[in-house]
Structures are given as C-alpha cells and as structure tokens.
Amino acid sequence: MKTEDVIIINNNEIASEIWEMEFLAPKISSNYKGAGQFIQIQLDPGWGNPLRRPMSIASCRDSKISIIYKIFGQGTKILSQKISGDVLNVLGPLGNSFQYKKNNLNILVGGGVGLAPIINLWKELDELRDNSYLIIGAKTKNEHIHSHNPDEHIYLTTDDGSMGLPGTVMEALKVVYENVKSSEVFACGPEPMLKQIQSFVIKNNIPAQLSVESYMGCGVGICQGCIISRRNYKNKNHSYHKKYSLVCVDGPIYSAGDVIFD
C-alpha cells in the first residue's frame, strides 16, 4: 500500500449517474493482489473534506487502474468534475480480495455500484468463463452498462423490467443456481441485496463471499472506524476484538456466514 499521485486518463459517464475513471498508477498497480481490493481517493488538497473516499478497483492492467462510481454526495460530485490530465492523490491497494476455486462454478452478483469489484472479478475469471455466471441488477436499463446475454452467461435484471429479467438479482440467482452444482457465490452491492444473498446461500448451504461497505476513516487499520459486526471470530492481525471486524484491513471480502448486518 502506497500513496501515489495518479494522472487521470479518462473520466466518463457510462450510464445514468454512473461514471468510470481510469488513471495511471504504476506504484499502486504493482502491489495489486486481485479483484475486491479498493483504493482511498483524496478529494482535493484543501481540508474541507478531510477523509478520503473509498472506491473498489474495477480493473488493473498495464499500470492503469479504473474505478466505477456513482454520484452520491459532494465527494463523488467533485470526482466527476475531474478531467483527463488532472492529478489525484490515491492510497492503495487496500483490503483483501476474492478467492475463487478453479473447479467451482462461480456465480458473480453485482448490484448498483457494487458493480466495480464484480466486473473486475469477471475479467479475472476470463479463462474460466464456461464455469462462471455474471448477474447484474439495476433499477432501470439506463443504469446498465452491459447487455443481457444468457448465452454468454450474463444475466441482467431491472426492477422495472425495462431490460433483462424483471425483478432483483435474487430472481436471476435462483434461476442460475437451479442449473448448477458445487457453486460459489461472489457478491457486492447495497446492504439489502447482500442480506438477501446471505440468507439464500446459508439456506442452500452454498459458500459465498460478500464484499461489504462501511464508512471509512483511514483505510489502513489505524482508526477503528470501519467496523462491521461479525460471527466466527478468527484471530486476524488487526481486528483484535471478537465482535467486530475492521473492513479496511480484514475485509472488504467476507465469507457470507461471518458477516452480521445490523
């Protein structure tokens, strides 16, 4: 993990209110471990917003890193106003990454801006495409950046039925799961979605890895700000209390059974 002044190459709106930014980050990418890791972006040199903003890595290749982000508040607004050539100070790569098994069928589920690490994992699984399924949910078709394509194992859902399967990712997950055996689920998205996936995988006894979000201070384990509640305490280096885990260093990827959503 390093802080690095990265140079923006691209910053474009790729779907309604959803942006993709790509930048040159040789130092950070040389330490990159895999899909699921994130970075902490400093908004500007001033101190109006003292905290960095956490963003999952959506791709990492040839010294370049990309993120996919949605405009929530002031910070993401500021990011969307950056143009190519601008410089950002970034800390990373941070956190752990998804761990997949070659022999499993891997079902990837992304919802909302939970997209980024899931797309990243999808790219990582390139050679295992035959064994992999991608499910992406959004409210409506304007928010989708892929095409619904079950032949290629890509299933899109929309709440309003305007694209792909109508309903949430749960509908698609059930459909896909019925056709496969020995599978593992990888998911990232809003908490309500993760909760539903958690019940589903526990009920069906499928292993699953969830990427969770939490309000971050430092991103490196020194503020104790980013905790989530957990089950199944295993002694980790940083989360030195049984009940909670530090998302920034022991996460953001957790085994579905270990996470308690409050």
Partner 1 sequence: MDLFIQQEMLSLIDMSIKIGKVLFKNPIITASGTFGYGTEVSSLVNVSKFGGIVTKSITLNPREGNPPPRIVETPSGMLNSIGLANIGVDQYISKKIPLYSTIGTNIIMNIAGTTVNEYIEIIKKVESVSSNIVGYEINISCPNVKRGGMEFGIDCDLTEKLTESLRKITERLLIVKLSPNVTNIASIAQSAEKAGADAVSAINTVVGMSIDIHKQKSKVYTKLSGLSGPAIRPIGIASVHKIFQAIDIPIIGIGGITCGNDVLEYILAGASAVQVGTSNYRDPGIALSMIEEIKLYGEKYIISSISDIVGVVSSNTK
Ligand X SMILES: Cc1cc2nc3c(=O)[nH]c(=O)nc-3n(C[C@H](O)[C@H](O)[C@H](O)COP(=O)(O)OP(=O)(O)OC[C@H]3O[C@@H](n4cnc5c(N)ncnc54)[C@H](O)[C@@H]3O)c2cc1C
Ligand Y SMILES: Cc1cc2nc3c(=O)[nH]c(=O)nc-3n(C[C@H](O)[C@H](O)[C@H](O)COP(=O)(O)O)c2cc1C
Strands 38-41, 2-15: pairing kind: unpaired
- Residues 82/22, Cβ–Cβ less than 8 Å: no
* Among residues 3, 10, 49, 255, the one that binds a copy of itself under rule CB under 8 A: 49
Q: Convert residues 194-223 into a mask of x (bound to ligand FES by CB under 6 A) and - (unbound).
A: ----------------------xxxx-xxx
C-alpha distances in Å from residue 234, one per residue of 20, 88, 230, 243, 261: 36, 36, 10, 11, 18
Residue 140 partner contact from ligand X, ligand Y, partner 1, none using kind-dependent CB cut-offs of 5 to 8 Å: none
Binding to a copy of itself by residue 46, rule CB under 8 A? yes
The structure tokens listed for 148 are: 């619904």
d(CA 204, CA 211): 20
C-alpha distances in Å from residue 217, one per residue of 1, 41, 222: 16, 12, 9
Binding to partner 1 by residue 112, rule CB under 8 A? no
d(CA 164, CA 68): 21
For partner 1, the closer of residues 55 and 226 by Cβ is 226
For partner 1, the closer of residues 48 and 85 by Cβ is 48
* Among residues 206, 208, 226, 256, the one that binds ligand FES under rule CB under 6 A: 226
What is the smallest separation between the CB atom of 99 and ligand X, expressed in angstroms? Answer: 17
The structure tokens listed for 161 are: 């039925």
For ligand FES, the closer of residues 40 and 183 by Cβ is 40
Which parts of this chain interact with ligand FES (CB under 6 A)?
216-219, 221-226, 246, 248
Which parts of this chain interact with a copy of itself (CB under 8 A)?
46-49, 74
